[in-house]
């Protein structure tokens, strides 16, 4: 079997837009002054996207009632947006989801597979997210006319990388030897996986030479460039965070609260993770990069090796991690 055939067997991604189309059909009836019937509403409620959206909200303990969605569909503001929503849906549906998946697959181990249902949805909350990654991976993307097809593809590639990563690389906290470690070390190692956001940024862009926000709005690109410029400072902030965990100053609950502050819009887990990933790939190659993330305990040492090589080659003084954090590998 050729390379193309091997890739085909590792990919199964489909854009399923039935929920959005059913909502648009209701908005068209309302715009034409026609009565929306229970049968029309049942068309929405019966779509796979709507049913799985309810499942996801229920899994988080959030209310998501059919009656509340009826109220959402009665919004006059929503009627006014229906044509731009329709144009956006058409542009998203024509996107080659497999191309986005293949870009992500290039930054995953050879045994990784990417199988996911992608749901562009019209809903009250403007968030996008992944769901049920272990059993039936789903990516829900809020249908936003402000997002161009190129931006949509980039977001899709980012999320698909997360989907594929879980099929090949075990979560650090699930490995047997971690159970025998001191609590602080176990918690700190678990947090290293958050740098995967940076790796997903790199994968979605297609390589370290491509700006992660090539197709983004100017303000998003400016924000990213500003934050990446603070790499050394932000690495030290995360280093201090990991150090407090190792010293027993932060238990699991406190660490969770503090650690989530580093996500932000695209905070240090993204920017520091991306710079680390790009440096490893440039200096040591993509294979070493993938290996380091698949065994996150080796990530810090691998990056330090790459940073030393980078500094020797360029004369830069790129920050590296302290021995204390590097010891997480042992």
Residues 259 and 148 in one domain: no
Q: CB-side exposure of 134: number of CA atoms within 13 Å? A: 2
Nearest-angstrom CA–CA distance, 20 and 44: 8
Across 217-241, b (16+ Cβ under 10 Å) vs e yields eeeeeebbeebbeebeebbeebbeb
Across 150-169, b (16+ Cβ under 10 Å) vs e yields ebbbbbbbbbbbbbbbbbeb
| pLDDT for residue 255 | 97
| pLDDT for residue 220 | 95
Compute the residue count for the chain: 330
Query: Phi and psi dihedrals of 160, rounded to 5?
Result: -65, -30
Mean pLDDT by 10 residues, the chain (330 residues): 56 95 97 95 97 94 90 92 96 90 95 95 92 92 93 94 90 62 92 96 97 95 98 98 97 96 96 98 98 94 98 97 91
Residues 192 and 82 in one domain: no
Residues 154 and 183 in one domain: no
Residues 86 and 188 in one domain: no
| pLDDT for residue 173 | 52
* Whole-prediction pTM: 0.88
Parent domain of 193: 172-329
- Domain termination residue (choose one: 168, 194, 212): 168
Q: Within a domain: residue 5?
A: no
Residues 150 and 190 in one domain: no
Residues 215 and 325 in one domain: yes
């Amino acid at each position: 079997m050729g390379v193309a055939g091997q890739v085909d067997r590792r990919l199964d991604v489909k854009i399923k837009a039935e929920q959005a189309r059913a909502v648009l059909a209701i908005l068209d009836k309302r715009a034409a002054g026609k009565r929306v019937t229970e049968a029309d509403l049942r068309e929405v409620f019966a779509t796979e996207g709507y049913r799985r959206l309810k499942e996801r909200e229920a899994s988080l303990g959030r209310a998501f009632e059919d009656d509340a969605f009826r109220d959402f569909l009665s919004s006059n503001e929503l009627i006014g947006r229906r044509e731009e929503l329709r144009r956006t849906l058409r542009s998203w549906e024509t996107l080659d989801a497999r191309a986005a998946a293949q870009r992500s697959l290039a930054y995953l181990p050879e045994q990784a597979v990417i199988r996911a249902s992608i749901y562009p949805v019209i809903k009250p909350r403007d968030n996008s997210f992944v769901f049920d990654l272990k059993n039936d991976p789903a990516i829900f993307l809020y249908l936003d006319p402000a997002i161009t097809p190129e931006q949509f593809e980039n977001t899709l590639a980012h999320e698909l990388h997360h989907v594929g990563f879980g099929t090949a690389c075990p979560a650090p906290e699930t490995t047997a030897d971690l159970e025998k470690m001191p609590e602080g070390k176990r918690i700190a190692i678990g947090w290293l996986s958050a740098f995967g956001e940076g790796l997903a940024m790199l994968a979605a862009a297609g390589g370290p030479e491509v700006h992660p926000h090539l197709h983004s709005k100017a303000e998003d690109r400016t924000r990213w460039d500003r934050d990446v410029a603070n790499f050394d400072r932000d690495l030290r902030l995360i280093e201090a965070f990991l150090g407090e965990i190792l010293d027993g100053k932060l238990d699991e609950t406190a660490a969770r609260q503090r650690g989530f502050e580093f996500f932000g819009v695209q905070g240090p887990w993204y920017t520091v993770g991306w710079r680390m990933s790009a440096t490893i790939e440039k200096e040591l190659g993509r294979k070493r990069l993938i290996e380091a993330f698949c065994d996150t305990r080796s990530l810090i040492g691998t990056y330090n090796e790459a940073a030393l090589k980078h500094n020797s080659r360029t004369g830069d003084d790129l920050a590296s991690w302290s021995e204390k954090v590097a010891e997480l590998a042992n």
